[in-house]
Amino acid sequence: MTRIVLVRHGQSTWNADGRWQGQADPPLSSLGEAQARAAADASPPVDVVVASDLLRAQRTAEIIAERRHFGPVRTEPRLRETFTGEWTGLTRDEIEEAWPGWLAADRRPPGFEPWETVAQRAIGALTDLRATHPGQTVLAVAHAGVIRAVERGLPVLRSVPKNLGGRWSRVNGDGLAAGDVVVLIDHANVVVTAPDQL
């Protein structure tokens, strides 16, 4: 059995602005870097670190892996965030203005990647870890939309993970099974430290 802790990346600059990112590639904010450092201190020991190939997830994984000496980070494109089409870069207010009521009704514009497609590719990436890392514990850093899609495809409650929050899962012969919720940081107590104080 392979155990996976799947968590969301630290805050990005677009998270800070309230913008839908999708597969756009903004970097971590200063707070996001601090969140990743705090998460490293709380991370369980793992054998392998994988991350989405988007910068915010990669950098979060690198900070955790470097601070805990977990080894190199392997990127996995199938853990990329949902493609959000025309909504990429927009705030909720901008979306509401252009598509009134769509968010409340859980509607999406044409070209927005369906959650089923996201779940299929992400669950495929996670279950493939059993073949490449049998019996090991894996930290996988991805995105809120990926985690929600994976959870919708499993018998668990749908949730919106905060930065550095997610869920334990295990992969065995029956596929992916969801475990306990995990939160690696106390959001109220993460402080941004000047680079010369690191």
Just list the catalytic residues.
Answer: 9, 81
Closest listed residue to residue 133, CA positions, set 8, 43, 46: 46
CA distance 79 to 24: 14
CA distance 196 to 109: 45
Q: Cα 16 to chain center, whole Å?
A: 16
Token pair listed for 54: 């988007």
The residues facing 165 across adjacent strands are 183
Report yes or no: 82 and 143 within 8 Å, Cβ to Cβ.
yes
Report yes or no: 154 and 181 within 8 Å, Cβ to Cβ.
no
Token pair listed for 58: 């990669």
Report yes or no: 165 and 8 within 8 Å, Cβ to Cβ.
yes
Report yes or no: 38 and 197 within 8 Å, Cβ to Cβ.
no
